[in-house]
Structures are given as C-alpha cells and as structure tokens.
Amino acid sequence: MKMLINVAETVVADALRGMAEAHPELAVDVENRVIVRRDAPVAGKVALVSGGGSGHEPLHGGFVGPGMLSAACPGEVFTSPVPDQMLRAAAAVNSGAGVLFIVKNYTGDVLNFDMAAELAEDEGIQVAKVLVNDDVAVTDSLYTAGRRGTGATLFVEKIAGAAADEGQPLERVEAIGRQVNENARSFGVALTACTTPAKGSPTFDLPAGELELGIGIHGEPGRERRAMMTSGEIADFAVHAILDDMTPRNPVLVLVNGMGATPLLELYGFNAEVQRVLRERGVAVARTLVGNYVTSLDMAGASVTLCQIDEELLRLWDAPVNTAALRWGV
C-alpha cells in the first residue's frame, strides 16, 4: 500500500507537527499528545475535552477551538489515549468552572477517561462526562460493550461547546450533551476496508463487488455483507435502520459523513438520496452537514447521523464556531 508517510512509528507525531505549523491558534504538544486552544483556560468557562485513537481525523483535534472543544488527546492509530494525556489536557484548560469529558463508547476510551476523571478530581478539578453511543448497527462489537460512538460525537461537541461558550454551568452543559446523544442515531456503510500504517494492508477482507452494512469506524463487522448496491439503495437501508430505532417528533440535524476515501461528489449524491428517504418518511430536516468528519483512515464509504432537535439545540448548533475543521458565523 502506498502512503504519504515517513515510517509507521512516527505517523501521529508527524501529523501533530504539521497541525502545529498549520494552526498557530492551537498549542500542540507533540511529545505529550495534547492539542489545546491557545487562549485556554478561558475564565469562567466550562472546558470540553475529548479524544480517541488517531485515524478518525478531523475528529477530535480538528474540532478544538472557540465554539467546540477546549482540548483533544490523540492516541496512536485506533488506540485510546492514556489517562496522563487526558489529565494534562484537563489541567491545561480548567478555569475553575469544571471540565466535561466527551467519550466515544469504546472500552479503552471509557476506562482511560474514567481513570483520568478520578485523577483530575484528586487534583481538585471538577469533571463530568458524556458517553456517546449513537450507532444502531449492532449492540456489542469488537471494541465495545453496548453501542458504538460515531457521528453523533460531532453534534455533541458542537452543541455542548456552544453552551459552554455562553457561560452555562457544568451541570447544564453536561445535560445538553447527554440530550444530544440520546436524540441521535447513526448507521455506517463500508465500500472498502481501511489500511493502518502499522499493518500496511487492509484490516479486513471485503471483496471488490461487496459492501459491509453497519460497519464501525475501526472496521468492526456490521449487520451483514451484500453485493454492491446503488446510492439510493444504501440510503434506503441506512435511514430506515435509524428510523426503526427512533421516531423523530422534531426536525433533525443530518450528518452525511465520509469515511475518509469517499469524494464529495459521491457524498453529495448520497445526501440527495438520504434527503429523499427522509421526505418519504415525513421527517423534517433543520440543517445538513456533508463531508469527511468522523473518518476511518482510507476507508471508502459513508455514515448517516440524525439528531432530533428543539429550538435551543438548533440555536446552539447555529452558534459561531472557529476550528480547523468546522467554521461558521465568525
């Protein structure tokens, strides 16, 4: 496999060095693997910290900045960051108003963030946590007990981040994050397997004429494997799987997310089919975001995330944001 890297062992460090060069508004600690808003801590503001294995960029480091995260902790590729990273991040951004950990439901992430929360509390930092578990494809998987955390992570980080920037207290920011997660569902589809730098070959076997329905962001198995389907057929399957699990009473936010190797030409075409299915099911759409946001290295495919919202959540979604990967209203 051809990759734009030096050696597999330095992929994450090299990426962080490049991020630091491109984004002087961020303080990037390459050695300790922590990305922080340069203006942190912000007086009186709840700080948001997230993180996870590298390979899902721009999640999470690309979402550090005004309106979203205060800090992010990148682990090795597809490997949880360690508690020391999370503690270092929490200490760097804590202003005394508390820190909210946003954690995707993968076993390593959950255990390490829980340990980091205990260490932070020992140092006098008040910590709350939101667990993201939005994937409806499978109940348990290779990396999780319960549902996986996927595309809804972006919604939680953006909406809770806006609430924190307004000066809302930790308990309220946590409640808003939990509300977003509870109202969000996702479903992903893989057209090709991904390739980790360390392995240098596809992480699983997916024949050229087949796709995997319900794939996870690490290549975990989904619901079933089928012969290649059209964009419209995939949208029918994915949206119906989500709506079988939720019945939106309010308009929804829609995320049509690329898995890393799918071009925008295809993603926008897929979005047209997703919107068609939603209209057929009588689901009103408030806002739509299309692009590669929660990826799986070079995997081709897409995921759909729906989140039903009320007026407050929509206002927080529309609030200004200024990060490397998401920016509007500034």
Which of 256, 274, 275 is CA-nearest to residue 151? 256
Beta-strand ranges (E) seen in the chain are: 26-29, 34-37, 47-54, 71-77, 99-104, 127-132, 184-190, 210-213, 224-227, 252-258, 285-291, 301-308, 321-322, 327-328
DSSP state of 61: G
Active-site entry in 23, 60, 218, 240: 218
Note the residue count of the chain: 330
Rounded CA gap, 302 and 269, in Å? 12
Instruction: Find out whether the peptide bond into 221 is cis, omega within 30 degrees of 0.
Output: no
> For helices 231-243 and 264-280, what crossing angle results, to 10°?
50
Q: Establish whether 218 is a catalytic residue.
A: yes
| Helical spans, DSSP H, in 139-220 | 152-165, 170-182
Q: How far is CA 296 from CA 150, 170, 257, 260, 287, in A?
A: 11, 31, 11, 6, 24
Active-site entry in 23, 56, 60, 240: 56
The one-letter code for the residue type at 330 is V
- 78 contact partners, CB below 8 Å, separation of at least 6: 53, 54, 55, 196, 218
Q: Establish whether 240 is a catalytic residue.
A: no
Active site (catalytic) residues: 56, 218
